[in-house]
């Protein structure tokens, strides 16, 4: 399967049929295998019944509403295409932009191409919040794209080998992948006003999005070294606590001041023990981080490919260049190991025939 298109939907019964038709018209032009996956995020307006009338389609149905991020994660995990395209189910994203995303990905050798709704057809509040969010993203996570909230994106499958989505993290997929070393880019795409249904955007999503941004910032800076943050803060607090205690002793000895009349004693004890607790917390967090990386599919590093030129022990193998790609390739290839095995089998068979001839 070359292409998977994943669409999370929630109460979009008036949009899914038309969206499917448009996607199908675009995909038929590719002349390559594709699949269309709709993830029904607990809809209760008849969306599922509309989806069942479509063909071809793969439908994933949630028992309850779990949110766009969860729906997107389920659709991506159920897909089999080498390229994954995600988009909204409200007809605001235009399927005709999919070929342009794929061309951009191939031309610039990108792992991710993010859509940019430059001429956005949304209410003022959503556009205002989006601009303020971009300002914070530029400071905290530096994803180098204009529109992280645009669902229309194209990914290579290997992007999600070590990524699971939680909370409202779908907005920060590009930032997470960029942190892991994947090559990202963006492309201006068409954006239409919503005609049917109601927007799911509300104040709670703004707060959740901000908290997830802080989480991504922490993960980017200190995921595999939390002791650097908590340990530094703890040592700094203990240092200030000791300095406060020394000042309190100076006032007691030379200033003849009753320490019960000052807050330095309490401040010294609080800062020192709070700093010590934070330092210990950093050590524990560091141990948990190492356990996480050792026990999960996520790693501190991701290998794109391993290239072996010549023998592994330094002896040259004439005419042999072996490239072992860790990530799935977009174009089919022949494994060098299979070629070597076939050559060895041929040689063995030929030697056997020669021995048989000699025995005769």
Rounded to the nearest integer, the mean pLDDT of the chain is: 81
Query: Which is more confident, 205 or 119?
Result: 119
What is the pLDDT at residue 326? 45
Sign of torsion over alpha carbons 285, 290, 295, 296:
positive
Instruction: Please give the angle made by the CA atoms of 246, 247 and 250, to the nearest 5 degrees.
Output: 90
Question: Mean pLDDT, to the nearest integer, of 164-186?
Answer: 87
Of the pLDDT bands very low, low, confident and very high (cuts 50, 70, 90), residue 5 is: very high
Question: Mean pLDDT, to the nearest integer, of 93-114?
Answer: 95
CB 98 within 8 A of CB 105: no
Kindly give, in sequence order, each residue whose CB lies less than 8 Å from that of residue 134, ignoring residues fewer than 6 positions away.
146, 147, 148
Decide if pLDDT at 163 tops 70: yes
| Cα 214 from Cα 150, distance rounded (Å) | 20
What pTM was computed for the model?
Answer: 0.69
Would residue 252 be called left, alpha or beta, if left means φ above 0 and alpha means ψ between -120 and 50 degrees?
Answer: alpha
Summarised one tens digit per residue, pLDDT across range 193-228 is 988 878 776 667 778 777 878 878 877 777 777 888
What is the pLDDT at residue 85? 97
What is the pLDDT at residue 115? 95
Of the pLDDT bands very low, low, confident and very high (cuts 50, 70, 90), residue 296 is: low
What is the pLDDT at residue 350? 47
Query: Which is more confident, 300 or 330?
Result: 300
Summarised one tens digit per residue, pLDDT across range 266-282 is 889 999 999 999 899 98
| E strand map for the chain | 3-9, 34-40, 58-61, 83-86, 112-116, 153-156, 184-188, 305-309, 321-325
Would residue 293 be called left, alpha or beta, if left means φ above 0 and alpha means ψ between -120 and 50 degrees?
Answer: alpha
C-alpha distance from residue 125 to each of 9, 121, 131, 329 (Å): 22, 12, 10, 42
Q: What is 3-221's CATH topology?
A: Spore Coat Polysaccharide Biosynthesis Protein SpsA; Chain A (3.90.550)
What is the pLDDT at residue 263? 83
CB 175 within 8 A of CB 219: no
DSSP state letters, 206-244: HHHHHHHHHHHHHHHHHTT-HHHHHHHHHHHHHHHHHHH
Token duo for residue 41: 């995020």
Query: 3: how many CB neighbours lie within 10 A of its CB?
Result: 20
CB 16 within 8 A of CB 49: no
CB 247 within 8 A of CB 207: no
Domain ranges of the chain: 3-221, 226-295, 305-359
Decide if pLDDT at 92 tops 80: yes
Q: Kindly state the percentage of the chain with pLDDT values over 90.
A: 41
Of the pLDDT bands very low, low, confident and very high (cuts 50, 70, 90), residue 293 is: low
Token duo for residue 352: 């056997």
What is the pLDDT at residue 101? 96
Most confident of 151-160, 200-209, 254-263: 151-160
Question: Mean pLDDT, to the nearest integer, of 4-8?
Answer: 96
């Amino acid at each position: 399967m070359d292409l998977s298109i994943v669409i999370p939907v929630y109460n979009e019964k008036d949009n899914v049929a038309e969206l499917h038709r448009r996607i199908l018209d675009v995909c038929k032009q590719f002349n390559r295998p594709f699949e269309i996956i709709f993830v029904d995020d607990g809809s209760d307006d008849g969306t599922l019944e509309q989806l069942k009338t479509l063909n071809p389609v793969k439908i994933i149905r949630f028992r309850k509403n779990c949110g766009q991020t969860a729906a997107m994660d389920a659709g991506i995990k159920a897909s089999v295409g080498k390229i994954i395209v995600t988009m909204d189910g409200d007809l605001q994203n235009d399927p005709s932009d999919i070929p342009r995303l794929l061309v951009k990905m191939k031309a610039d050798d990108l792992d991710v191409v993010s859509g940019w709704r430059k001429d956005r057809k949304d209410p003022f509040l959503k556009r205002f919040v989006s601009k303020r969010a971009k300002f914070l993203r530029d400071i905290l996570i530096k994803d180098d794209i204009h529109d992280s909230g645009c669902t229309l994106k194209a990914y290579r499958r290997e992007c999600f080998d070590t990524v699971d989505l939680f909370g409202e993290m779908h907005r920060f997929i590009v930032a997470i992948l960029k942190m892991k070393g994947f090559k990202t880019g963006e492309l201006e795409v068409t954006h239409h006003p919503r005609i049917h249904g109601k927007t799911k955007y509300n104040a709670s999503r703004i707060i959740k999005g901000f908290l997830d941004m802080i989480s991504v910032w922490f993960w980017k800076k200190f995921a595999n070294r939390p002791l650097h943050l908590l340990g530094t803060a703890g040592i700094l607090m203990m240092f200030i606590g000791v300095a406060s205690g020394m000042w309190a002793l100076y006032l007691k000895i030379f200033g003849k001041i009753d320490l019960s009349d000052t807050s330095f004693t309490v401040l010294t004890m609080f800062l020192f023990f709070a700093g010590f607790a934070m330092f210990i917390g950093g050590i524990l967090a560091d141990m948990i981080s190492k356990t996480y990386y050792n026990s999960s599919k996520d790693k501190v590093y991701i290998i794109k490919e391993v290239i072996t030129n010549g023998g592994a022990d330094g002896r040259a193998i004439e005419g042999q260049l072996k490239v072992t790609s860790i990530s799935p390739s977009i174009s089919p290839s022949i494994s060098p190991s299979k070629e070597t095995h076939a050559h060895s089998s041929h040689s063995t068979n030929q030697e056997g025939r020669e021995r048989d001839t000699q025995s005769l």
